Chains A and B, each alone.
Chain A
């Protein structure tokens, strides 16, 4: 089973700043099959990025994803008030599909 470790656990930033979230896999993720989700309190997760760097339908271009080996990064440029939430990475390169433990992006 591939273990995904997200860091930091909490990121305290101000609106307008850039957020850089990390997701490290315990082994290679086949074909960089990694997704990022945003979840706000009491809501279902929303898909942001798939295949490590492809934005999902309707996702603003301030969200971007990248990959380098077993390290994956979600970058949010110019944080908007609605971007403060918990973010999860998920690998779907091999079963069982697994999620990271989440990064909470909070208002500083």
Chain B
């Protein structure tokens, strides 16, 4: 069965950095687009970043220039390097698999909480 397990969240000071990881299993990771979506406490969902099976990458304007998405198909892993963190980046970050050749999200991890506070 498809499993996505995020890790790497925690408490970080404004201006700090954090690297999130997502371990995938139960499917051929290299065949699928992947995304990160976040949810601030008590708020709705916000798409953050997308990576294709090749080199296409997109970012939300709110994180462009600060966050970097990457993947390692040999390790079945997705990453999100987050730099210059701001209090408004505080959220649960979900890793999600995109639908086959599409951009909806058919499987989600349970999320990892990132708190940016001094």
Contact = CB atoms under 8 A, between A and B. Distances in A.
Contact of A50 (B35, B99, B110): B99
Contact of B46 (A44, A56, A95, A99): A99
Nearest to B106: A47
B94 interface: yes
Nearest to A98: B47
How many interface residues does chain B have, given as a range?
20 to 34
B103 A92 contact: yes
Interface of A: 33, 35, 37, 39, 43-47, 50-51, 56-57, 88, 90, 92, 95-102
16 contacts: A33-B102, A45-B94, A46-B108, A47-B99, A47-B106, A50-B99, A88-B45, A90-B47, A90-B104, A90-B105, A92-B104, A97-B35, A97-B47, A97-B50, A98-B47, A101-B44
